Structure 1
Amino acid sequence: MQQPKTINWGIIGLGNIANKFAHDLLKVENAKLYAVASRNLNKASEFAKNYNIAHAYGNYQALVEDPNIDAVYIATPHAFHNEHTILCLNHKKAVLCEKPFAMNLGEVEEMIATAKANNTLLMEAMWTYFLPHYQFVLQHIKDETFGKIVKIEADFGFKPEIDMTSRVFDKSLGGGSLLDIGIYPIFAALSTLGEPIHIESKATFFDNDVDSSCLMLFSYDNGVEAHLKSTLLEKTPTEAIFYCERGTIKINSRFHGPSNVTLISEGKEETIDFDVTTNGYYYEALHFNQLLRDGKKESDVMTFDFSKKLIKLLDTVRSQIGLKYE
């Protein structure tokens, strides 16, 4: 049997998430972390040394011009996703771009149009979609194991050290709770209930006009609601709970990453573990590699349509709370 083609990866943006992704990519068969790039060559060289990567570049242009690279993982701050994705696509590099895909729907549509114009694979890196526990939950919801969903509660909160120069708090980089972590509760609602018919949002803000917390209520037909929360002011359970007609499906902390699931029905509880031995980025990388080998230009899981719906919801919430990025 013929060995699958080895996919040569590059990474642009070498922060915390890039480290986790790199660690997981080393465990993916027939994938090679071939090159990394930072605006700081020393940082790129140090990163490359840590993961035994052959090539380190001090600018992004050099990486996209490397003919041996098949795919690029973009882990730069939100505000640069559009620019860096288009740079890669115009050099025919398949792109896995961190969430949020971009800053607004217009940017996302431009990225998708560029991918289509270059006939090149593009996918938003919403890693949660590919995790075993989340696929398990989606299957139970689809099968209506406990009937239809009547309510969702999903939250994500942590309390970072206040440093207004860090990416999380920097408005020019798309900082704030909504785009950074609020996207996950919104994703939980969109992936299970679809688009709401009504949205109510309210937020609190830091002194620099970056949102510190956000409460969102999504309303659906038949009185179904999703109560969603993101905050940088406190540590919250960070769970996703799906209340159904005959039982409850609860993704335990932290629901967006590798976790376990508790099924509650008729007074009984069962918790299922999934024995994930990686950071969890392994699964989206595996999926992306297969898309690339199969010649696909769009994911059948994290579709362009889904990414557009997700960013539209973020845009709507931003508009309601008065959060403007220049």
Structure 2
Amino acid sequence: MTTDSGTRTPIRWGVLATGRIAESFASDLALVDGNELAAVGSRSPEAARTFAERFGGSRAHGSYEELAADPDVDVIYVATPHSRHLEDVMMCFEAGKAVLCEKALTMNLADAEKLVAEARSRGLFFAEAMWMRANPNIRRIAELSADGTLGTIGQVRAQLGFVGPAATARLWDPMLGASGLLDVGIYPLTFAHLILGEPVSITAGGTLSDQGIDVNGGATMTYASGAVASIAWTQVAHSDNRASVAGDVGLIEVPARFHHPTMFTHWHDDQLDTISEPVTGRGYAHEIEEVAACLRAGKTESALLPLDDTVAIMGQIETILDQLGVAAR
């Protein structure tokens, strides 16, 4: 996107919803050259105005529909709870908008497939905001895992968790899409998929709340290569939040919190290297840069945030939740 004089015009972002995750995204958006917060939408006009004033948005819309209809917005970041993603993303598509949707993309596989098919049929850019994938250190770990530096990978381990505040409704209310796996377990699951691809088997176990949501769980996955991945997630305990990739000639260890690392260690040839790739802001900047690059290039999908992987991982999530006995979503 350039002007007649050759000057690059900014990518104009709309932010749909004004919660904590939207605040983090907007903070990093301000750090990325060639991108701007053009508008924000909320179901509360006052919340929209406050958010726009705080983060420099030029327009505040008192409904999500008004934001989607704004002609001066190029792409919308959907930051609502995942129970609303199907509805909110579809509304943006119907308005002809490109979308970056917060993870988890949807509540179930069928809805994820529906949104991906809709984006493709309309020729609109679409991606899940799995910011971990865009983190420079995660990208470097994926490169080292793929180029043979570690030898044949035999094991991947990743776990993530915290003690969820009782007052945070989205963590506990099934109507808001509460699920430890959808909220935090998706990160270790995505990490394993990034390194090893699609598993041939998944065996999961865990515990449910009195309202039937998964709050504490783990899964072992096996792969055609013979590798094994062990993941765990929780919203009721203090996890170590670390990850590792083990091969027969090398080992990578990622410190807490592994899903947005600023460094990692690489053991090989009887030496230990500490690798640290620079991270901008809180880390959301890198997915913003990726989406902007895709839009400028006229791409409707990102190789860094691939829709086919998003759908595959949603299928794994569905398998795990079914094994845990979580009710249909």
TM-score class normalised by the smaller sequence: over 0.9
Of residues 162, 170, 178, the one that matches 1:158 is: 162
Alignment-derived partner of residue 117 in structure 2: 113
Alignment-derived partner of residue 133 in structure 1: 137
Alignment-derived partner of residue 85 in structure 1: 89
Distance 1:176 1:101 in 2: 13
Alignment-derived partner of residue 234 in structure 2: 231
Distance 2:286 2:256 in 1: 19
Q: 1:38 aligned to 2:42? A: yes
Alignment-derived partner of residue 171 in structure 1: 174
Alignment-derived partner of residue 28 in structure 2: 24
Tell me if the contact between 1:238 and 1:255 (Cα under 8 Å) persists in the aligned partners.
yes
Tell me if the contact between 2:160 and 2:242 (Cα under 8 Å) persists in the aligned partners.
yes
Tell me if the contact between 1:172 and 1:325 (Cα under 8 Å) persists in the aligned partners.
no
Distance 1:121 1:98 in 2: 14
Q: CA deviation at 1:122?
A: 0.6
SS of residue matched to 2:265: strand
Alignment-derived partner of residue 282 in structure 2: 279
Distance 2:227 2:120 in 1: 37
Aligned residues: 325
Of residues 143, 161, 185, the one that matches 2:188 is: 185
Distance 1:122 1:90 in 2: 13
Q: 1:52 aligned to 2:56? A: yes
Bigger shift: residues 26-35 or 255-264: 255-264
User: Using a 3 Å threshold, how does the CA distance of structure 1 residues 171 and 17 change in structure 2: closer, same or farther?
Assistant: same
Tell me if the contact between 1:5 and 1:293 (Cα under 8 Å) persists in the aligned partners.
no
SS of residue matched to 2:171: coil
Q: CA deviation at 1:99?
A: 0.8
SS of residue matched to 1:123: strand
Q: CA deviation at 1:17?
A: 0.9
Q: 1:295 aligned to 2:263? A: no
Q: 1:195 aligned to 2:195? A: no
RMSD: 1.4
Distance 1:222 1:25 in 2: 40
SS of residue matched to 1:234: coil
Q: CA deviation at 1:266?
A: 4.5
Q: 1:146 aligned to 2:130? A: no
Gaps of 5+ in 1: none
SS of residue matched to 1:34: strand
Tell me if the contact between 2:290 and 2:304 (Cα under 8 Å) persists in the aligned partners.
no
SS of residue matched to 2:185: helix
Of residues 308, 311, 320, the one that matches 1:308 is: 311
Gaps of 5+ in 2: none
Distance 1:315 1:28 in 2: 35
Tell me if the contact between 2:136 and 2:278 (Cα under 8 Å) persists in the aligned partners.
no
- Sequence identity, in percent? 34
Tell me if the contact between 1:35 and 1:56 (Cα under 8 Å) persists in the aligned partners.
yes
- CA offsets, 1:33-87, max 9 Å, x none? 0111111111111111111211111111111111111000001001111111111
Of residues 104, 117, 120, the one that matches 2:108 is: 104
Distance 2:144 2:135 in 1: 15
Distance 2:225 2:261 in 1: 32
Output the amino acid matched with 1:274. Answer: E
SS of residue matched to 1:223: coil
Distance 2:150 2:67 in 1: 50
TM-score where L is the length of structure 2: 0.95
Bigger shift: residues 206-215 or 225-234: 206-215
